[in-house]
């Protein structure tokens, strides 16, 4: 009896030793796996020079040597592109497990886009400063006459300032999103910068609608005066009077202004559409259709873009168009303010000096007043 008990005790004892051993192996394995997962990179670094090739492809099965009937390339393609049609959750976008293009987008946004964008804007500012230093203010050749003519009515000026003020707010808050962390964060500190950027984001989102309204108003009011014609080519050939002396003839808007107008209208539409697509994510897909149309013209672009790719392209496009517009508008603000004597009044009071009108918009002035658009010296008004 005692022998039987001793036997049973020793076999129980043996079993508990065995369980302890199995448990110890399991713990060691778990710790080892955790260690290799977290310290994988260290391990890689430590094996520098050693053969660290990944294990052989699993020969048509899923990676990790597990069983499966999908090829490795197909498997990873589906992980990257999304398992369209096979995901049962309502939000099919979540079928994309790894979105490789996101890394490209991040690299482009924080790399060349930010860098070349800042160069472009700084180059325009430097050129304008240089032009001002060399040429000075463009004066009214025949001096201020003291008599004025009406150039823009109240509605014109409302449309202009609605667009201008909203554009400037959009530009400042938008540039803060792109460059604020480099320029303002070190000066303001994280709390202030976060509060400012948060407020800026709301300003950007809501003011966008005022800008869109301004664009529509400007188009309706001024498109009839901005249709390009042959006279614009002559104006451009003379550089608007910079080359060859004299002021080339112009109607209500000269060729330079027509260019500004169309940049504002077309750029404004484009920046608004891409902005709406950013404001209401995944509601639009502009790029797949555009790329498909371009492919019909011989391009070779991906036309079956995932929703997230659409968003990323929208963001890049929105920024590119906005920065080009800012560069153009910087030049416009210069010429409409300090760059040219008498210009600001057109959008200030709405009335301009007669000599300014005769020199810069001779045909418009002649039509408006019935008087000759020629300058006081008898030379064609510039």
Taking CB under 6 A as the criterion, the residue among 346, 359, 365, 373 binding ligand HEM is: 346
Q: Is 36 in the site for ligand HEM (CB under 6 A)?
A: no
Binding of ligand HEM by 164 (CB under 6 A): yes
Count CB-CB contacts under 10 A for residue 104: 12
* Residue 358 makes contact with ligand HEM by CB under 6 A: no
CA distance 231 to 248: 9
CB of 151 to ligand HEM, least distance (A): 5
Give the length of the chain. Answer: 382
**At closest approach, how far in Å is the CB of 199 from ligand HEM?**
21
170 binds ligand HEM (CB under 6 A): no
Q: Phi, psi at residue 303, to the nearest 5°?
A: -115, 5
The answer to whether 333 contacts ligand HEM (rule: CB under 6 A) is yes
According to the binding rule CB under 6 A, does residue 159 interact with ligand HEM?
Answer: no
Which is closer to ligand HEM, CB of 305 or CB of 352? 352
Residue 381 DSSP label: P
- What gap in Å lies between CA 318 and CA 271, rounded to an integer? 5
Residue 318 binds ligand HEM (CB under 6 A):
no
> Is 84 in contact with 92 (CB distance < 8 Å)?
yes
- Name the one range near ligand HEM by CB under 6 A: 77-85, 124-132, 259-267, 288-296: 259-267
Residue ranges of the alpha helices (H) in 184-304?
A: 185-188, 190-222, 230-237, 255-279, 286-296
Query: How far apart (Å, rounded) are the C-alpha atoms in residues 68 and 227?
Result: 64
In the complex, minimum distance from the CB of residue 380 to ligand HEM, in angstroms, rounded to a whole number:
18
Task: Please tell me whether residue 82 binds ligand HEM under the rule CB under 6 A.
Answer: no
Give the range of 6-14, 172-180, 305-313, 340-348 binding ligand HEM by CB under 6 A: 340-348
Residue closer to ligand HEM by CB (options 68, 256) is: 256
Which residues, in sequence order, are CB contacts of 348 under 8 Å at separation 6+? Answer: none
Residues 6+ apart with CB under 8 A from 156: 221, 222, 350
Least separation in angstroms between CB 244 and ligand HEM? 21
Q: Does 329 bind ligand HEM (CB under 6 A)?
A: yes
**Which position among 127, 344, 350, 363 is part of the footprint of ligand HEM (CB under 6 A)?**
344
Determine which residue in the list 257, 270, 319, 362 makes contact with ligand HEM, applying CB under 6 A: 257
Q: How far is the CB of 57 from ligand HEM (least distance, A)?
A: 55
Count CA atoms closer than 13 A to 344's CA, side-chain side: 10
Contact map string, positions 263 to 292, toward ligand HEM, x by CB under 6 A: -x----------------------------
Nearest to 167 by CA among 332, 351, 347: 332
30 scored as a contact of ligand HEM (CB under 6 A): no
Minimum distance from CB of 340 to ligand HEM (Å)?
A: 8
The answer to the question of residue 261 lying near ligand HEM (CB under 6 A) is yes
**Binding of residue 175 to ligand HEM (CB under 6 A):** no
Sign of torsion over alpha carbons 331, 336, 342, 346: positive
* Minimum CB distance to ligand HEM smaller for 144 or for 168: 168
**Residue 242, CA distances (Å) to 104, 135, 173, 285, 333 in order:** 44, 10, 35, 45, 19
Q: Is residue 208 at the binding interface for ligand HEM, with CB under 6 A as the rule?
A: no
Q: Binding of ligand HEM at residue 306 (CB under 6 A)?
A: no
Give the span between the Cα atoms of 4 and 270, in whole angstroms: 91
Give the burial class of 264: count Cβ atoms within 10 A of its Cβ; 0-12 exposed, 13-18 middle, 19 or more buried.
Answer: buried
The least distance separating ligand HEM from the CB of residue 200, rounded to whole angstroms, comes to 18
Between the CA of residue 113 and those of 169, 179, 307, 324, what are the distances in Å?
21, 11, 22, 12
CB of 236 closer than 8 Å to CB of 249: no
Asked if 289 and 249 count as a contact pair (C-beta separation under 8 A), the reply is no
| Residues at the interface with ligand HEM (CB under 6 A) | 151, 160, 163-164, 167-168, 218, 253, 257, 260-261, 264, 329, 332-333, 336-337, 343-344, 346-347
């Amino acid at each position: 009896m005692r022998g039987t008990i001793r036997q049973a005790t020793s076999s129980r004892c043996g079993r508990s030793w065995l369980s302890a051993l199995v448990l110890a192996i399991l713990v060691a394995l778990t710790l080892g796996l955790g260690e290799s997962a977290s310290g994988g990179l260290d391990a890689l670094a430590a094996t520098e020079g050693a053969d660290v090739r990944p294990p052989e492809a699993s020969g048509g099965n899923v990676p990790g040597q597990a069983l499966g009937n999908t090829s490795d390339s197909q498997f990873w393609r589906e992980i990257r592109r999304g398992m369209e049609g096979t995901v049962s959750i309502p939000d099919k976008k979540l079928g994309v497990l790894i979105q490789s293009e996101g890394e490209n987008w991040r690299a482009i946004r924080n790399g060349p886009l930010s860098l070349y964008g800042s160069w472009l804007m700084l180059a325009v500012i430097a050129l304008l400063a240089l032009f001002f230093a060399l040429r000075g203010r463009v004066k009214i050749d025949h001096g201020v006459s003291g008599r004025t003519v009406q150039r823009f009515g109240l509605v014109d000026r409302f449309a202009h300032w609605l667009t201008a003020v909203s554009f400037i707010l959009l530009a400042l808050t938008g540039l803060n999103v792109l460059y604020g962390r480099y320029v303002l964060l070190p000066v303001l500190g994280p709390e202030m910068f976060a509060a400012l950027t948060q407020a800026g984001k709301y300003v950007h989102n809501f003011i966008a609608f005022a800008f869109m309204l301004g664009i529509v108003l400007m188009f309706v009011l001024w498109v009839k005066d901005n249709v390009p014609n042959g006279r614009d080519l002559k104006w451009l050939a003379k550089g608007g009077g910079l080359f060859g002396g004299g002021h080339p003839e112009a109607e209500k808007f000269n060729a330079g202004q027509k260019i500004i107008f169309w940049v504002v209208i077309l750029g404004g539409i484009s920046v608004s559409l891409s902005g709406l697509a950013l404001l209401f994510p995944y509601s639009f897909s502009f790029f797949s259709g555009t790329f498909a149309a371009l492919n019909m013209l011989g391009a070779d672009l991906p036309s079956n873009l995932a929703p997230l790719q659409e968003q990323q392209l929208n963001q890049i496009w929105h920024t590119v168009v906005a920065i080009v517009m800012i560069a153009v508008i910087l030049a416009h603000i210069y010429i409409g303010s300090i760059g040219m004597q008498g210009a600001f009044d057109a959008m200030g009071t709405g009335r301009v000096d007669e000599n300014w009108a005769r020199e810069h918009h001779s045909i418009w002035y002649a039509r408006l007043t019935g008087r000759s658009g020629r300058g006081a010296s008898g030379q064609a008004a510039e």
